[in-house]
Structure 1
């Protein structure tokens, strides 16, 4: 068989100048190692949202007037009783002031009992009277605390700013995108650190407890949990080293693929830093995958060289032959991985796009380190020209196993396998139809339920009447529209319909507040809790509602309707969003338009829709790329079908597993499907590269498969098991999303490996029904 002239030239160039190649890799590694040390964690809020989604366009348009979804909520609680005591108010004042002066906090939107904008209004003989809930001359003595308690009740903030049982009080704030002290993008992780060290650590004691939630704090906790990845990385290296050693029985051969894979990781991190990227808590998992992929391809190279040396040639010739033999299948497999990761760029969410770039760079580095550097390094070794001890002890047994497995490529066993596979596919497809888009559990989905962050979330949800899960529907209209009864009546009807949707706890809008104020002007009579048709009376009702309330902008041309939800589960969000769209289409008119969305749940709704919209195109891109690469590589439709069909079946089964394990399709789990396909194709390509060559020479499918197992079987099995064991350590992570990713990747690595050695030859048995030798005889 003629050797591709391009590969021949590459081989000659590389192996004639081995010293130069090694010097180049050494120098580049030193430079990129320095660059890698400059890499920083980057967890900007805007990276986590689909900025081009219509909901987020509305969100960004009105962010200055109503704040964003990047909020901080701090509940200060008294563990011994209610809040009306001096130590509590000293702590609350300290938390308020400390939060106020943290760089990046929008000071105008810092609210607590101590905020001047926190006011009460009461009905008196002459009309209304009111003032700050905490007066300027406040002293935390018995009399002062009694006055404050009365003002709190008059202000109607129990359940919102004060807990239902008076055990806690809330301090809230919004974060800006730019740090005004530096003029640079806000460092979310620095904010999280300050919330922990300057607020919780300073004011929490035996009596006072501080509970902090919000995007910045959650990301900080996720980043702290992500530091455990280093431990998992070390465990994975140890496990991999043990597995590779038992495979090759040589310390040197064990260290070579591990070292080359670590160099690929260094190059990846260095390139990221050089290109100006940071690394976020989700992408911090990618270097592990790059290392695992590198080792899997390194094992194939080691396996090939050892087999070449056993034929009686030296290491240099064996390395050259292995370079020629593996450059195309290895390159195609790694190119498939790379393209699989690149397809994630189609998802309009910054954190996924950066994951795609991070992973693509890493796999591209493996092409250089494991297909070029590794064979060059091996060429300097001196291996014995005889089978290794492991082979002596287990050679006959292994050959028997390969002969037994080769029977899978005959029509009888293949029929049974394909029937069982079809049954599994139908089972997986049925359950995959029920896969949910979005989060399926309460609390921050990135963290475990028993994490401090989620426990704080549950406490706030339990003790306050409002939910931390809210969505704002933006009502866009004309200036001074709030003085029109017709406009407020439409908003009121919209609010009423949404309040009666399952999953909505409560709702508030300028219209509902105007009704309460109107009742107050009429001695608090509930019969007057209506919108007045008289414009002057209506103006009087809304005049006392400040823009800081978040219910209107300066010229009253935008008036949000805020919906507080029971949770942020996928079903709840879908139900509410669908109802908003239905009611909006009914009530929208020339003067007034309801638009989704702002608030934390608004961001989640946009993210869920972006993930759902990207799911099918992403899979089409992944499979399209794999199909094209297989066609170019094998020049055979039959070979392509044999590789791709098992991948598709496993992807479907993985979606069924997600449904069964109550794992939703989210920003963290969507990339796993693409990663699983990209990495899973490697097994099939390596197996079929040998099979295809033997089939072209006229061997039967059974003979070709037996040859493939002899040449690649051990390495493929080792790779699949090693990858699966490595990611299975993620089951013990402090991060819930890493646990989910670990479960899915373990499943896909193992099952894709099994599909390549069981289903692939069964398919081939029907696609190549007769050996070419037999055909020639006929």
Structure 2
């Protein structure tokens, strides 16, 4: 998504600027600052905070402490995975995610939705292959049937299309008798009714309903909300109708079994003929030879009962949902449909020139845009999780010369990600374009804490040679600095929750939760993992302690 790409570039430049200032400007500032008095430094080492850290570390690295730590983290991660099942792609509420539910805008929006039956449009385009396609009775009746089908969904309030105009005009010119509120069965009557309605109207007015050549029109559904689950259901039902209507026009019925999709029934109509490898609708009038004798039409049938449909175009088909997806996508790109069919175990390609004059294409309007965004979010959420963690792992690989190092440092972050997603699911916070960057930002903030601890453990084991002593010293020294850093970051971020903008408040709270869990993980889970598994990238540094002498002050 373009907005996320711009955000990534901006954040990268911001981090780069911070790096430059830290490396070049901060040392200059430190040079002019007064060094702390040695007596004060020694007093801090014997202060209450240091004593609390010492007591905590002693309990943590004990056998019961390590067992309890692993048990708590395993249970917390399992709970997070369980809660994540309720995560919503898109918005979980009808209200705008930018503002709180009790904001005047969201309250007004709810009232309007209740009074007018839906104001959030889903636009389906009916695109003809030739001009005047919208004057075809079959095309207009398909649009009308589509409206009736989708209006049964509780999310759809009402709908509008060319067929509504045609039925209304036909009824008016027959003294408003209900029996005339129908679509005529021939092109001439339809063209006449359109002429009566649109005559005298400027092109800008006509364009609201149909293109000037009557090749393209739209069906608009007005939905009551834009919840993620409702959008997915409405789009799925739209694809269900479009694909089902197309299969009916082709003349087959399909069913699903454990092996996939198969042709359940083949209708007598339409009749087909094989024209240079493509099945087309057979001509109703037979040709004649030079002597005037009729040449019998050689009918052909592209399908037989029991045939298995394994693909449409470049897409594989294995169930009803995938068949609907594939048909809608393929017919939106080309008129000639290419199906991969297994006949008696032998796969063959069947090319069909379908009988319809136009095709329904998804989707525009607010609901259509959000549907496309939600589908992209599913892919991008997984991709951003992978790229965020993988990038950190690669950097750690080259920094510490160890593939295992990344696993130790990323463990607490993965647990943090799971717990934050579980929190979002419980509190009705959807995975949308606003929350998607949270993963990358959280990984960037959370990895620092573990780096400080691991680096200090490596430094200490080079001197001490003992892993447990090195971990203890890392936690009581670097752990104190990590604590100060974490408290500063978390408290400053928590001030976002005072914002009246819901997005700011929720992002501030989620970032604070993420950093809190990451901090706790770096101070508990990470050192316990190091003590339990004794990673080689740390233990190999212990050999450097043989030629060193520990100096105590």
Q: What TM-score, normalized by structure 2, do the two folds share? A: 0.73
Residue 558 of structure 1 pairs with residue 231 of structure 2: no
Report the aligned-residue RMSD: 2.5
In the alignment, which residue of structure 2 is the partner of 1:230? Answer: none
In the alignment, which residue of structure 2 is the partner of 1:709? Answer: 475
Q: Are 2:156 and 2:221, in contact at CA under 8 Å, matched by a contact in 1?
A: yes
Residue 596 of structure 1 pairs with residue 254 of structure 2: no
**What are the Cα deviations for residues 538-560 of structure 1, in whole angstroms up to 9, with x where unaligned?**
22333315663622111111111
**What are the Cα deviations for residues 62-107 of structure 1, in whole angstroms up to 9, with x where unaligned?**
xxxxxxxxxxxxxxxxxxxxxxxxxxxxxxxxxxxxxxxxxxxxxx
Partner Cα distance (1:627, 1:410) in 2: 29
In the alignment, which residue of structure 1 is the partner of 2:56? Answer: 404
Q: What TM-score, normalized by structure 1, do the two folds share? A: 0.52
Partner Cα distance (1:393, 1:709) in 2: 14
Residue 381 of structure 1 pairs with residue 40 of structure 2: no
3-state SS, counterpart of residue 474 of structure 1: strand
3-state SS, counterpart of residue 564 of structure 1: strand
Partner Cα distance (2:53, 2:496) in 1: 32
In the alignment, which residue of structure 2 is the partner of 1:454? Answer: 106
- Unmatched segments (≥5 aa) in structure 2: 247-353, 547-553
Q: Any residues of structure 2 matched to 1:226-375 within 5 Å, and which?
A: 348=1, 350-375=2-27
1:745 CA drift (Å): 0.6
In the alignment, which residue of structure 2 is the partner of 1:626? Answer: 392
Partner Cα distance (1:763, 1:630) in 2: 17
Residue 578 of structure 1 pairs with residue 230 of structure 2: no
Partner Cα distance (2:545, 2:470) in 1: 18
In the alignment, which residue of structure 1 is the partner of 2:166? Answer: 514
Q: Are 1:639 and 1:692, in contact at CA under 8 Å, matched by a contact in 2?
A: no
1:721 CA drift (Å): 1.7
Residue 475 of structure 1 pairs with residue 241 of structure 2: no
Residue 395 of structure 1 pairs with residue 59 of structure 2: no
**What are the Cα deviations for residues 10-68 of structure 1, in whole angstroms up to 9, with x where unaligned?**
xxxxxxxxxxxxxxxxxxxxxxxxxxxxxxxxxxxxxxxxxxxxxxxxxxxxxxxxxxx
Partner Cα distance (2:426, 2:151) in 1: 32
Q: Which residue of 439, 448, 466 maps to 1:700?
A: 466
Q: Are 1:435 and 1:659, in contact at CA under 8 Å, matched by a contact in 2?
A: yes
Shift of the 404–702 alpha-carbon distance from structure 1 to 2, 3 Å rule, reads farther
3-state SS, counterpart of residue 597 of structure 1: strand
**What are the Cα deviations for residues 241-273 of structure 1, in whole angstroms up to 9, with x where unaligned?**
xxxxxxxxxxxxxxxxxxxxxxxxxxxxxxxxx
**What are the Cα deviations for residues 152-172 of structure 1, in whole angstroms up to 9, with x where unaligned?**
xxxxxxxxxxxxxxxxxxxxx
Partner Cα distance (1:702, 1:378) in 2: 34
In the alignment, which residue of structure 1 is the partner of 2:434? Answer: 668
3-state SS, counterpart of residue 505 of structure 1: strand
In the alignment, which residue of structure 1 is the partner of 2:157? Answer: 505
Partner Cα distance (1:482, 1:570) in 2: 32
Partner Cα distance (1:655, 1:696) in 2: 39
In the alignment, which residue of structure 2 is the partner of 1:721? Answer: 487
Q: Are 1:494 and 1:587, in contact at CA under 8 Å, matched by a contact in 2?
A: no
Partner Cα distance (1:473, 1:390) in 2: 74
Partner Cα distance (2:173, 2:59) in 1: 89
3-state SS, counterpart of residue 379 of structure 1: helix
Q: Are 1:411 and 1:762, in contact at CA under 8 Å, matched by a contact in 2?
A: no
3-state SS, counterpart of residue 678 of structure 1: helix
Residue 614 of structure 1 pairs with residue 380 of structure 2: yes
3-state SS, counterpart of residue 560 of structure 1: strand
Q: Are 1:410 and 1:762, in contact at CA under 8 Å, matched by a contact in 2?
A: no
Shift of the 462–500 alpha-carbon distance from structure 1 to 2, 3 Å rule, reads closer
1:403 CA drift (Å): 4.9
Q: Report the count of equivalent residues.
A: 428
**What are the Cα deviations for residues 183-240 of structure 1, in whole angstroms up to 9, with x where unaligned?**
xxxxxxxxxxxxxxxxxxxxxxxxxxxxxxxxxxxxxxxxxxxxxxxxxxxxxxxxxx
Shift of the 355–448 alpha-carbon distance from structure 1 to 2, 3 Å rule, reads same
Partner Cα distance (2:186, 2:217) in 1: 20
Structure 1 range deviating more: 705-714 or 676-685: 705-714
In the alignment, which residue of structure 2 is the partner of 1:331? Answer: none
Shift of the 372–402 alpha-carbon distance from structure 1 to 2, 3 Å rule, reads farther
Relative to its length, the structure with more helix (as a share) is: 1
Partner Cα distance (1:642, 1:401) in 2: 22
Q: Are 2:44 and 2:50, in contact at CA under 8 Å, matched by a contact in 1?
A: no
Q: Are 2:151 and 2:158, in contact at CA under 8 Å, matched by a contact in 1?
A: yes
Q: Any residues of structure 2 matched to 1:150-229 within 5 Å, and which?
A: none
Residue 535 of structure 1 pairs with residue 187 of structure 2: yes
1:700 CA drift (Å): 3.3
Shift of the 582–513 alpha-carbon distance from structure 1 to 2, 3 Å rule, reads same
1:742 CA drift (Å): 1.3
1:367 CA drift (Å): 0.9
3-state SS, counterpart of residue 388 of structure 1: helix
1:711 CA drift (Å): 2.6
Q: Are 1:638 and 1:767, in contact at CA under 8 Å, matched by a contact in 2?
A: no
